[in-house]
Homo-oligomer: A and B are copies of this chain.
Amino acid sequence: MNSDMIIRITKYYRILNRLRSLGLEKVFAHNLADAAGVSAALVRKDFSLLEIYGQKRGGYEIPDLLEHLGRILGKTEEPQNVIIVGCGRIGKALMHYNGFEPDGIRIVAGFDSDPLIYSDSTHPVPVYPISRLEEVTSTFDVQVAIITVPESATSDSFHRLMQVGIRGILNFSPITLKPIKLEDGTSPVVHNMNIALELEQIFYKLQFPKTEPAK
């Protein structure tokens, strides 16, 4: 399964969740396609590849789809625990964000090197000094970290996280982190979210508007 397909699957999952909460029970490929911004053929092809089948002329059962896709995406009863490394403004904003819960994601702790920050007990989740990284991640069985440290600390934080066994990184710093190969032969999963880079892409696209994709 390639990267674009993973994105589509996660989108389908969220759309289906929303449809279910609206009380719907069935969905057609073209409904999902419209909502996800892809073609109906692609939706059917994706499901076919994942061995998810609907009823001819009857569409797909939403609970069935959610069950299948949820398993593929590793959804369990228990939420997946995540930590935030770097509790500056962005890190704190993410701690307060309450949109993770419905998706089965839980921020369990923050980390910072500044005593003024980790001594402050008004955060919505506990904030620890970096020295307690290993202890906390093993206690909560954390596999994924969000990096929101300043540019200069990015690389250090990344290596530290690798050392304590974190295997998934969502990096908000403008330094692009690359999934270097680890001693054990595996590579971490790294997603970089670079806001300035996104804006630059938008500026480019505005400069050269795409010509109408001939229906």
Which of A's residues lie within 8 Å of B, judged by CB? 1, 3, 6-7, 9-11, 13-14, 37, 72-74, 80, 82, 88-90, 92-94, 96-97, 99-100, 103, 105, 143-144, 146, 151, 167-170, 174, 176, 178, 186-187, 189, 191, 193, 195-210
Contact = CB atoms under 8 A, between A and B. Distances in A.
Number of copies: 2
Given A99-B151, A195-B193, A206 B144 contact: yes
A200 B89 contact: no
Nearest to A185: B212
A3 B205 CA distance: 9
A174 B204 contact: no
A21 B32 CA distance: 47
A202 B73 contact: no
B170 A195 contact: yes
Most chain B Cβ neighbours within 10 Å, of A37, A96, A199: A199
B151 A196 contact: no
Nearest to A103: B196
B202 A144 contact: yes
Contacts of A6: 201, 204-205
A203 B89 contact: no
Contact of A178 (B9, B37, B73, B189): B37
B203 A80 contact: yes
